Amino acid sequence: MNALTASQPGNQTGGIHCGSLHARLRQTTADLHRRSEAVLDLPTKLTDLAGYVSLLDVLWRFHAGYERALRHAHLAAEFQSLCLCKADWIAEDLCYLGCAPRGDPIDVALDGRLDALGSLYVIEGSMLGGRYIGKRAAQALGVSPWRGARFFHGYGELARSMWKEFVCDLNSVPATGSPADRVEASSCRAFQAFIGSASR
Ligand code: HEM
């Protein structure tokens, strides 16, 4: 069982309702989530600081690419809690470790609100797992939110409420029909973009 399925048994937990678009995405992207976890290969990445830096590089390329596309799409008014600061948090962590981001942001094309919603599902959802990764990194390498792990701290105490707010936005789209298909396709593209970039 992967970390995601292990943490949330059943199909109605913490405000997640069966039959919602959220429930649909969670189910249809479960395999992509498993593949993302596998490609990140945490045991290797958390062996030493060099591995940890390469983990941050992978995450920076992904978030910087999506944040650039979200900025270009001028979607701030559509999402009240849109936070385009994750690439900066990662750059801050790399700087603390004496490094700068390596590689280029991934190329992302977003066409409108539904595309953005699908990709934000992956981006914001990944922050939940990030808290878990942060704890493992702290145990293995001694990093902390102030010392190289600002990104994994994410929204801190606000993490659950931010996620609930986002899930409300997501569930404002009915779970079936072409808008929902569009959101789902965009989520799958975001996971695939992550897997592709992390595999290189
Ligand atoms: C080793 C790497 C990873 C681990 C261990 C992990 C772990 C987790 C865990 C434990 C959760 C549930 C957290 C909770 O509800 O409190 C979660 C949720 C999620 N993660 Fe990951 N994750 C990893 C990587 C990723 C990556 C790379 C992405 C995206 C590119 C991602 C996307 C998501 C999404 C979208 C959710 C929300 C699922 C939902 O409830 O709808 N995760 N992850």
Domain boundaries, the chain: 19-199
Spatial distance between the Cα atoms of 101 and 61, rounded to a whole number of angstroms: 8
Q: What is the mean pLDDT of residues 155-162?
A: 95
Closest atom of ligand 1 relative to the 62 alpha carbon: 30
List the beta bridge partners of residue 116: none
Give the least confident one: 49-53, 71-75, 153-157.
71-75
pLDDT of residue 22: 98
Reply yes or no on domain 19-199 having CATH 1.20.910.10: yes
Mean model confidence pLDDT for the chain: 91
Q: What is the mean pLDDT of residues 59-72?
A: 96
Going by pLDDT thresholds of 50, 70 and 90, the confidence category of residue 81 is confident
Taking the centre of ligand 1 as the mean of its atom positions, its distance from the CA of residue 23, in whole angstroms, is 14
pLDDT of residue 15: 43
- Asked if 26 contacts 191 with a C-beta cutoff of 8 angstroms, the reply is no
Going by pLDDT thresholds of 50, 70 and 90, the confidence category of residue 172 is very high
36 lines ligand 1 (CB under 6 A): yes
Going by pLDDT thresholds of 50, 70 and 90, the confidence category of residue 7 is very low
Taking the centre of ligand 1 as the mean of its atom positions, its distance from the CA of residue 139, in whole angstroms, is 19
Closest atom of ligand 1 relative to the 121 alpha carbon: 35
Closest atom of ligand 1 relative to the 191 alpha carbon: 30
pLDDT in tens, 102-123: 999 999 999 999 999 999 999 9
**CA geometry: angle at 92 spanning 89 and 95, to 5°?**
155
Q: What is the mean pLDDT of residues 4-33?
A: 71
